[in-house]
Homo-oligomer: A and B are copies of this chain.
Amino acid sequence: MTANTDIDSPLVLAIDLGGTNTPFGIVNESGEIVARGSIPTTGHASVEAWADELHRAVTETTLAAHLTHRLCAIGVGAPCANCNTGCIEAATDLPWSSPIPLEALLKERFDLPVAITNDANAAAAGEMIYGAARGIRNFIMLTLGTGVGGGVVCDGHLLSGSRGFAGELGHIVVRPHSDRRCGCGRTGCLQTFCSAKGVVTTALDMLDSDPRDSELRRVPRQEITARLVSEAAQREDALARDVYRFTGEILGEACAGFAAFTDPEAIVLFGGVARAGSLITTPMRAAFEKHALHLYRDRVGILTSQLDGADTAILGASAIAWQLRDK
C-alpha cells in the first residue's frame, strides 16, 4: 500500500462488530481513518434491522464527506466469523441466533465485495500492521472486551486453522470447577474471568465475601462496570485493586500455557479491560513468570495496544478489505 490522498483514490469500509457496539471507519490505503461512525449492536428487532441501520449510518457518513463513490470493498471483524463461509457461526456474545449470513447481508445492502474475519484476528492484523506488534513475528493478541478473543501470529503468519477458528483463546477453560457459566454453555472459560463482565463478576464476588470498605459499596450493584472498578483502583481503592490483581493473575497463568503453543515474543492486550494498564499487567507478569515453563520465563513481553481500541479492530478489518480488493 502506498499513501494516496487523491480525492478519487479508493477507500474501504471497515466494520468492528462487537457485542455492544458496531463502530465503523472509512479507511484509505495509508491506514488513515478518514471518516467514522458507530451504531449499537443490541436493541434491533433482528440482524436484518441491524444491517439496515448500519447501511443508513454508513451512507449518511459517506454522503456527508463525499466519499460514497470511492468505496471499493468491505472488511468486517466479528466474533466467530468464518472467513470460508461468510457466516458468523455459533457466536455467544451477539444478540442474534447463529449462523448469521453476515457477508450476504452486507453485500445485498452495499453492493460491494465483503470479507469477514474473527474480530480478534482482525485486531491482531491491525496491531501487526499499525500497532504495538509492528515487526514482531510471534505474538498472541488478546482482546479483553465484552468477551475475550484471541489472535495468534506465529512465524509471521496470522493463524487461521481448518475453518478459520484458530485463536478462540477466550474459551480456554482456566477454572474447570468454577461456577462461572460462559455463554458457550461451559464453565470456567478465560472470558468469564478476564472480560469486562468477568471483572464485574469478580468485583461483586469480592464485595460479598470481603469485609473491607470500598468506594464500590456506594454504587448500586447493577451499575458497577469494569471501568468503574479500574477508576476506583486508580484512586487506590484496595478492594478494587484486588479485583484487577485477581484478573491479571488468571490472565498470566493462562498465558503461561499459551506460550508453550507458539513460543511468542510478546502478548499484546487490547480492549476495555486492558486500559487498566499496569493494574492488570503487573500481576499478569508475575503470574506468567510463576507458572511458565522455564523455556519461556523472562522471554515474553507483555504489551498493551498502542492504538485506540476501536481503531485497531477497524484497521485490521480494513487490512482484510484491501486484500479482497487486491485479489
Interface residues of A, Cβ cutoff 8 Å to B: 80, 89-90, 137-138, 152, 154-155, 157, 159-169, 171-173, 184-186, 256-258, 260-265, 291, 293-296, 299
Contacts and interface: CB of A to CB of B under 8 A. Distances in A.
A171 B293 contact: yes
A161 B264 contact: yes
Nearest to A261: B261
25 contacts: A138-B162, A152-B261, A152-B262, A154-B159, A154-B166, A155-B157, A155-B161, A161-B262, A161-B263, A161-B264, A162-B299, A163-B299, A165-B263, A165-B295, A165-B296, A167-B260, A168-B260, A168-B293, A168-B295, A169-B260, A171-B293, A172-B257, A184-B294, A258-B261, A261-B261
B294 A261 contact: no
Contacts of A161: 138, 154-155, 262-264
Q: How many copies does the complex hold?
A: 2
Contact of A263 (B137, B162, B256, B260): B162
Contacts of A256: 173
A75 B256 CA distance: 30
A152 B185 CA distance: 28
B261 A169 contact: yes
B263 A185 contact: no
Interface of A is mostly: loop
A175 to B, nearest CB: 10
B265 A166 contact: no
A154 B258 CA distance: 15
Contact of A264 (B152, B162, B186, B258): B162
A18 B213 CA distance: 57
A87 to B, nearest CB: 12
Given A152-B261, A155-B160, A167-B260, 7 more contacts: A80-B295, A89-B295, A161-B263, A163-B295, A168-B260, A185-B294, A261-B262
A100 B129 CA distance: 38
Given A90-B295, A185-B294, A294-B90, A257 B162 contact: no
A105 to B, nearest CB: 21
A169 B295 CA distance: 13
A135 to B, nearest CB: 12
Contacts of A264: 161-162
Given A160-B155, A294-B185, A171 B90 contact: no
Contacts of A293: 168, 171, 184, 186
B296 A166 contact: no
